[in-house]
């Protein structure tokens, strides 16, 4: 059975208990869970996560890392994907005792049992869901990948990672300034993973990684009633978006259940801001989404050579 691995920086660590609650509900009994984080080991949110995992009877191992060791130019992309997501590239090295690992982003919501997925053997280093959006077309290198997958949910053969020397390859990519800046410019890890694996990936059924933004469209959501994992990819996160979608509500219920008595004021603000009242997120996030949409529209009308030129600057 695959273990589960999540990666969190200081900012998302607050929400990690919601992931634990979901893993408890839908992962197999005895499943191993890994949290990879760059937080100080005495961070109170980390201590809280450990207590919650204990209360849930989950086998959680925390791996604290110094990211500077892995990536010399450690900073987030223009798309605000946290820089720590680059650590996905080094999971083979970070989890030397594991072969098969299900990697999950913090912004995922599990809706159904993951038993089948966790027990799926794979013959490629990566198994993931294909992205049908235009992100493949925005791949920053001239040669587009054959298949373009999303890196928010991935089943990984870490044995293959180690056999193929992926950590070393990842270091080489990150140290090549031009290649690395291009590949990290939008999604940090995702374009690098596609660069490394797009010819060597198994596609998983779409139900294992459905974008919340697609589910907001009624025609699509009707077709998909067996969704196992929803991902809040992009700006809309279940903890910062006022829209009370089915899956946002589901996330809130997990989060509220997980923190229970250990909630502090900030957690309560997160939950309360969903129930009416004005929070900065209610104004800023829709504005941000509007800006994102406008930029997308503008970008889609700009010829490719200008984009390259801008990127060059």
Residue ranges binding Mn ion (CB under 5 A): 105, 107, 152, 233
| Distance, CA of 34 to CA of 41 (rounded, Å) | 15
CB of 159 to Mn ion, least distance (A): 25
Lateral strand order in the sheet of 59-64: 59-64, 32-37, 3-8, 100-104, 149-157, 126-130, 201-203
Residue (154 or 160) nearer to Mn ion, CB: 154
- Tell me the backbone φ, ψ of residue 25, rounded to 5 degrees: -75, -35
Residue (107 or 236) nearer to Mn ion, CB: 107
CB of 234 to Mn ion, least distance (A): 8
Residue (15 or 160) nearer to Mn ion, CB: 15
CB of 10 to Mn ion, least distance (A): 17
Task: List the beta bridge partners of residue 155.
Answer: 102, 127
Residue (9 or 105) nearer to Mn ion, CB: 105
Q: How far is CA 231 from the centre of its chain?
A: 8
CB of 136 to Mn ion, least distance (A): 17
CB of 150 to Mn ion, least distance (A): 8
Per-residue burial over 15-33, b if 16 or more Cβ lie within 10 Å, else e, is bbbbbbbbbbebbeeebbb
Residue (107 or 267) nearer to Mn ion, CB: 107
Contact at 8 Å (CB) between 254 and 40? no
- The residue number whose beta carbon is nearest to Mn ion equals 105
Three-class SS state of 33: strand
């Amino acid at each position: 059975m695959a273990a589960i691995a999540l990666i969190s920086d200081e900012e998302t660590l607050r929400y990690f208990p919601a992931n634990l609650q979901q893993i408890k509900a839908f992962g197999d009994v005895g499943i191993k869970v890994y949290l990879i984080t760059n937080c100080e080991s005495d961070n109170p949110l980390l201590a809280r996560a450990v207590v919650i995992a204990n209360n849930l009877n989950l086998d959680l191992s925390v791996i604290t890392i110094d990211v500077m060791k892995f990536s010399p130019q450690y900073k987030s992309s223009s798309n605000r994907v946290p820089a720590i997501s680059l650590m996905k590239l080094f999971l083979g090295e970070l989890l030397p005792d594991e072969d098969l690992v299900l990697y999950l982003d913090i912004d995922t919501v599990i809706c159904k049992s993951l038993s089948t997925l966790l027990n799926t053997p794979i013959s490629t280093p990566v198994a993931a869901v294909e992205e049908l959006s235009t992100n493949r077309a925005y791949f920053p290198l001239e040669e587009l990948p054959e298949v373009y997958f999303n890196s928010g949910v991935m089943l990984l053969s870490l044995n293959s990672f180690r056999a193929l020397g992926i950590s070393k390859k990842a270091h080489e990519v990150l140290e090549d300034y031009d290649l690395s800046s291009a590949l990290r410019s939008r999604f940090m890890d995702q374009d690098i993973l596609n660069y490394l694996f797009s010819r060597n990936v198994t596609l998983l059924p779409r139900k294992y990684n459905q974008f919340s933004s697609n589910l907001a469209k009624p025609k699509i959501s009707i077709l998909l009633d067996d969704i196992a994992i929803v991902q809040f990819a992009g700006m809309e996160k279940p903890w910062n978006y006022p829209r009370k979608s089915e899956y946002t509500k589901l996330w809130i219920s997990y989060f509220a259940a997980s923190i229970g008595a250990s909630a502090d004021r900030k957690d309560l603000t997160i939950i309360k801001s969903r129930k009416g009242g004005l929070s900065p997120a209610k104004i800023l996030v829709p504005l941000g989404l509007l800006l994102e949409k406008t930029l997308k529209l503008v970008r889609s009308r700009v010829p490719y050579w200008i984009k390259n030129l801008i990127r060059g600057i």
